[in-house]
Chains A and B, each alone.
Chain A
């Protein structure tokens, strides 16, 4: 039998042919690889969330191999000596084993927790980006809603995961959840008993949360993330306005290799940051909290940061209980059930409210600078102010303790702040937006300040302005505002040496004006000369 000659160089092409014969993939694959993505740092925020989610799936799968979601009592006998001989649930004991007896288990646990915090944080900043730049407008309303669903599922996913180890903090959290459910009118106690299987705490809740945490919610998250990304691919990424960019195109780099390799590298860096944080910064040290005991709680116990706003709202809401006809509506119903309900629905319908208000039915693929939409920006900042007051109030005991303020005073400050803060934030933001807009227009009309003062023959002084483009007979610039950054310094125009960026501090070296020809800035030929003279005309 003759040996067939084996040509190594032809192998990829041959393999490619064989695959394509079966999958018919060349055309769609090329289309995918040629997809153009616009580049801007703010588009990376969503990736933080995406990659943290991938890390959560990886580390979470590892943890399931060792975690035992059982509330059966057992006596701890592992290597963490301070808790030896203490009776606790198997969930807590196996969490201790992961932390102390599984090689690398603590590292994995901490990565899982840090990644979870970063996941929610990534989602929130990504939503801010989407909101403030108007990326949620037609045709992307559906993806905005999918994103909001992802946000709420992520919060519940985090809440359930946090409850699993059955330590003193998470048990207290579970008890609070139980009380919140109990507060629902008419069917509250029925729902609580359906969930917990008996009076609090029972023995069902951790196994059930485990199923939700590792099966149901992750499946939902994976599904919705897929929908989110497919919609992104179909609708193409929105982009900032700029040279050559229109509503009808996408300007950027093709996906493979540039965009994809940057994305992959960003995943690695994201992973690296989480790994380093998990190595160096302890998080949720359950062995210090100890197992959950109904009678024990420590002061200063805080939930994970993303639930803190609910904790804050529970602290601030006044003691208004409604009792009538032998029935009770506990006050916690309003801040812990009604408020999150409003917070879920309102943002979901916001795109439609805004479009209706502006009678805007157009398709928008260009983003807006926040300053150009003062009303929306101010509304967003108002929401942030509301949120920040709630988060701070979630830690008001710590604030009171650290700054030696009376606890009651911080509660009242929170209550008043919650009412006054948002409107003030709205007004201030609105004014700032208008101011920024005005400054942009001013530079477009009058030119960039050059820092050169000239003395006119009649003795007056005036500053020389460099117009950005052609001017009319009054020396006013004729450029239209294009919805994008207006250069405001000479070195942004290329007329002067660029600013020096520092590593720790921005060292904007005062760029030396090349003086020498009568104090005129860089001579740009007769054209520039004329512009300068026109700019100097008294207005």
Chain B
């Protein structure tokens, strides 16, 4: 009783605005003449809630309208049972393993969804109907206290906090303050360093991976790396018809796996006329340009090879438009002009696709003359 009393005084003390509930004294809850609802209303009042309107939906119980609603709700609940049962039966008994072609196993998931969904839907609808159509209607008003705590409490709290500071007397004991700081600092550093340090890896550490791909002879015992298909077989010039293209990988162990995600390369066999244009443009880029000891530049006859990794964000730039000699990246539509050192001509990419200098070895297979001469893929800060 005492707790309830204090509860009441709390609500009454904190700004009472309601019309007639606030001033009223507590009623004697043990009075046997009180109805149950009167007790409920008293409880609400003690919680600062006034039930201002409370009326049954159907003043005369058992009318046709009321029974109709009851029947509807009952029907909904029964439907829940039916759908739930169907769900359990289907879940336990139906065959679901994948079999090619059209077959009943394909219906497993849809049937689960529909039966489960109908079961929950009817249950939910029934409950809502019960709450909205059968429960007596009610309007309750709860008081709200604006602003912060009562001034007294604020004052006391301030004193309490001040007192705590005073008890520790931190300001009066500079030695302790200093010692604590000195002690805490390394612990704080440790708390930050401990979880982060193990993650740190030098991106330019062993092999400088951002600058090298699987076409680096270093990964092939110093020998030039072959261009191979996904299954590891080498490629001869005859394998790619004029106007055609092929995705190639470095001919090293696991060269076609995601471990060498920086290496996929597009080998393109240009038509005669396009090849002539491409060749004449090679000189614009010193790295691709012909030199006295390498008169073809980066190309080999009418063949040209570019990194497939888009210089924008690293998607494979794989849509080759033969008519316009453009290579389109499907991710954000950067377009690269194949006949001019793959320079970006539209979209968000800023850099050319790096060219892989190629030639054909003594066995008649394509090999990379060297690794890419610039980092492939998206740019980063220390990439000049």
Q: Which residues of A come within 8 Å of B, CB atoms?
A: 24, 27, 30-31, 34-36, 73, 79-82, 87, 100-101, 103-104, 106-107, 110, 171-172, 175-176, 178-180, 182-190, 192-195, 197-201, 236, 244, 247-254, 257-258, 261-262, 264-269, 271-273, 275-280, 292-301, 311, 314-321, 323, 326-332, 363, 365, 396-397, 407-408, 411
Among candidates B49, B333, B380, residue contacting A328 with C-beta atoms closer than 8 Å:
B380
Give me 19 other A-B pairs in contact (C-beta within 8 A), A35-B142, A182-B378 excluded. Answer: A81-B98, A176-B315, A187-B381, A188-B381, A194-B196, A194-B200, A194-B201, A198-B209, A199-B203, A244-B52, A249-B141, A250-B141, A268-B124, A269-B120, A272-B116, A275-B116, A295-B318, A321-B379, A329-B381
Q: Which residues of B contact A318 (CB under 8 A)?
A: 348
CB A525 to nearest CB in B, in angstroms, measures: 27
Q: Tell me if A254 and B49 are in contact (CB < 8 A).
A: yes
Q: Which residues of B contact A268 (CB under 8 A)?
A: 120-121, 123-124, 127
Q: A257-B135, A268-B120 are in contact. Are A100 and B97 (CB under 8 A)?
A: yes
Q: A179-B313, A365-B144, A397-B330 are in contact. Are A319 and B128 (CB under 8 A)?
A: no
Q: Tell me if B313 and A265 are in contact (CB < 8 A).
A: no
Say which one of B107-115, B287-295, B358-366 lies at the interface with A: B107-115
Flag whether B131 is at the interface (Cβ < 8 A): yes
A201 to B28 CA separation, bound complex (whole angstroms): 74
Q: Which residues of B contact A407 (CB under 8 A)?
A: 333
Number of interface residues of B (CB under 8 A): 93
Q: Tell me if B330 and A298 are in contact (CB < 8 A).
A: yes
Question: Which residue of chain B is the closest to A196 with respect to CB atoms?
Answer: B201
Q: Which of A87, A195, A199, A292: most chain B Cβ within 10 A? A: A199
Among candidates A35, A194, A272, residue contacting B118 with C-beta atoms closer than 8 Å:
A272
Q: Which residues of A contact B351 (CB under 8 A)?
A: 321
A218 to B271 CA separation, bound complex (whole angstroms): 56
Question: Which residue of chain A is the closest to B379 with respect to CB atoms?
Answer: A330
A279 to B382 CA separation, bound complex (whole angstroms): 50
Q: Tell me if A279 and B111 are in contact (CB < 8 A).
A: yes
CB A283 to nearest CB in B, in angstroms, measures: 11
Q: Tell me if B125 and A265 are in contact (CB < 8 A).
A: yes
Say which one of B30-38, B166-174, B215-223, B258-266 lies at the interface with A: B258-266
Instruction: Report, nearest first, the 7 A-B pairs whose CB atoms are least far apart.
Output: A279-B113, A268-B124, A276-B117, A295-B264, A294-B261, A179-B378, A272-B120
Q: Which residues of B contact A249 (CB under 8 A)?
A: 17, 141-144
Q: Tell me if B47 and A31 are in contact (CB < 8 A).
A: yes
Q: A103-B91, A297-B318 are in contact. Are A180 and B313 (CB under 8 A)?
A: yes
A236 to B142 CA separation, bound complex (whole angstroms): 10
Q: Which residues of A contact B47 (CB under 8 A)?
A: 30-31, 34
Question: 19 A-B pairs, CB-CB below 8 angstroms?
Answer: A34-B44, A36-B49, A106-B109, A107-B116, A180-B313, A189-B380, A194-B201, A197-B199, A249-B144, A253-B138, A268-B121, A271-B120, A276-B121, A279-B109, A279-B117, A295-B316, A328-B382, A332-B313, A408-B333
Q: Which residues of A contact B300 (CB under 8 A)?
A: none
Chain B positions 90 through 115: 1 when the CB is less than 8 Å from some CB of chain A, otherwise 0: 01000011101000000011111110
Chain B positions 341 through 366: 1 when the CB is less than 8 Å from some CB of chain A, otherwise 0: 00010111111000000000000000
Q: Tell me if A319 and B210 are in contact (CB < 8 A).
A: no
A30 to B45 CA separation, bound complex (whole angstroms): 11
Flag whether B146 is at the interface (Cβ < 8 A): yes
Flag whether B82 is at the interface (Cβ < 8 A): no
Q: Which residues of A contact B349 (CB under 8 A)?
A: 319
Q: Tell me if B201 and A314 are in contact (CB < 8 A).
A: no
Q: Tell me if B378 and A330 are in contact (CB < 8 A).
A: yes
Flag whether B140 is at the interface (Cβ < 8 A): yes
Among candidates A73, A269, A314, A329, residue contacting B124 with C-beta atoms closer than 8 Å:
A269
Flag whether B159 is at the interface (Cβ < 8 A): no
Q: Tell me if A280 and B114 are in contact (CB < 8 A).
A: yes
A280 to B117 CA separation, bound complex (whole angstroms): 11
Q: Which residues of B contact A200 (CB under 8 A)?
A: 261-262, 314
Among candidates A176, A236, A396, residue contacting B144 with C-beta atoms closer than 8 Å:
A236
Q: Which residues of B contact A292 (CB under 8 A)?
A: 258
Q: Tell me if B332 and A311 are in contact (CB < 8 A).
A: yes
Question: Which residue of chain A is the closest to B309 with respect to CB atoms?
Answer: A294
CB B281 to nearest CB in A, in angstroms, measures: 20
A352 to B257 CA separation, bound complex (whole angstroms): 53
Flag whether B64 is at the interface (Cβ < 8 A): no
Flag whether B187 is at the interface (Cβ < 8 A): no
Q: Tell me if B114 and A397 are in contact (CB < 8 A).
A: no
Q: Which residues of B contact A199 (CB under 8 A)?
A: 203, 209-210, 261-262
Q: A250-B141, A397-B330 are in contact. Are A175 and B49 (CB under 8 A)?
A: no
Q: Tell me if B121 and A408 are in contact (CB < 8 A).
A: no
Q: Which residues of B contact A252 (CB under 8 A)?
A: 139-140
Q: Which residues of A contact B139 (CB under 8 A)?
A: 251-253
Q: Which residues of A contact B384 (CB under 8 A)?
A: 323, 326-328
Flag whether B370 is at the interface (Cβ < 8 A): no
Flag whether B3 is at the interface (Cβ < 8 A): yes
Q: Tell me if A332 and B378 are in contact (CB < 8 A).
A: yes
Q: Which residues of A contact B379 (CB under 8 A)?
A: 182-183, 321, 328, 330
Q: Which residues of B contact A301 (CB under 8 A)?
A: 330-331
Q: Tell me if B330 and A299 are in contact (CB < 8 A).
A: yes
Q: Which residues of B come within 8 Å of A, CB atoms?
A: 3-4, 7, 17, 43-44, 47, 49, 51-52, 91, 96-98, 100, 108-114, 116-121, 123-128, 130-132, 135, 138-144, 146-147, 196, 199-204, 209-210, 247, 249, 257-258, 260-264, 308-309, 312-316, 318-319, 330-333, 344, 346-351, 377-384
Among candidates B108, B128, B200, residue contacting A190 with C-beta atoms closer than 8 Å:
B200
A248 to B138 CA separation, bound complex (whole angstroms): 20
A447 to B116 CA separation, bound complex (whole angstroms): 52
Question: Which residue of chain A is the closest to B107 with respect to CB atoms?
Answer: A279
A277 to B308 CA separation, bound complex (whole angstroms): 38
CB A38 to nearest CB in B, in angstroms, measures: 10
Question: Which residue of chain B is the closest to A36 with respect to CB atoms?
Answer: B142
CB A443 to nearest CB in B, in angstroms, measures: 27
Q: Which residues of B contact A244 (CB under 8 A)?
A: 52, 141
A249 to B139 CA separation, bound complex (whole angstroms): 12
A31 to B143 CA separation, bound complex (whole angstroms): 13
Q: Which residues of A contact B346 (CB under 8 A)?
A: 408, 411
CB B71 to nearest CB in A, in angstroms, measures: 19
Q: Which of B132, B199, B202: most chain A Cβ within 10 A? A: B199
Q: Tell me if A104 and B316 are in contact (CB < 8 A).
A: no
Question: Which residue of chain A is the closest to B46 with respect to CB atoms?
Answer: A30
Q: Which residues of A contact B331 (CB under 8 A)?
A: 172, 176, 297, 301
A81 to B101 CA separation, bound complex (whole angstroms): 11
CB A246 to nearest CB in B, in angstroms, measures: 8
A536 to B307 CA separation, bound complex (whole angstroms): 82
Q: Tell me if B350 and A321 are in contact (CB < 8 A).
A: yes
Q: Which residues of B contact A319 (CB under 8 A)?
A: 344, 347-350
A107 to B91 CA separation, bound complex (whole angstroms): 11
Q: Tell me if B113 and A278 are in contact (CB < 8 A).
A: yes
Q: Tell me if B350 and A330 are in contact (CB < 8 A).
A: yes
Q: Which residues of B contact A80 (CB under 8 A)?
A: 98
Q: Which residues of A contact B3 (CB under 8 A)?
A: 24, 27
Q: Tell me if B131 and A315 are in contact (CB < 8 A).
A: no
Question: Which residue of chain B is the closest to A199 with respect to CB atoms?
Answer: B209
CB B35 to nearest CB in A, in angstroms, measures: 17
Q: Tell me if B112 and A104 are in contact (CB < 8 A).
A: yes
Q: A279-B116, A332-B348 are in contact. Are A258 and B138 (CB under 8 A)?
A: yes
Q: A251-B139, A257-B135, A328-B381 are in contact. Are A189 and B203 (CB under 8 A)?
A: yes
CB A463 to nearest CB in B, in angstroms, measures: 37
A254 to B333 CA separation, bound complex (whole angstroms): 56
A295 to B129 CA separation, bound complex (whole angstroms): 56
A271 to B116 CA separation, bound complex (whole angstroms): 9
Among candidates A175, A198, A251, A295, residue contacting B313 with C-beta atoms closer than 8 Å:
A175
Q: A201-B261, A319-B349 are in contact. Are A194 and B141 (CB under 8 A)?
A: no
Q: Which residues of B contact A175 (CB under 8 A)?
A: 261, 313-315
A279 to B116 CA separation, bound complex (whole angstroms): 9
Q: Which residues of B contact A194 (CB under 8 A)?
A: 196, 199-201
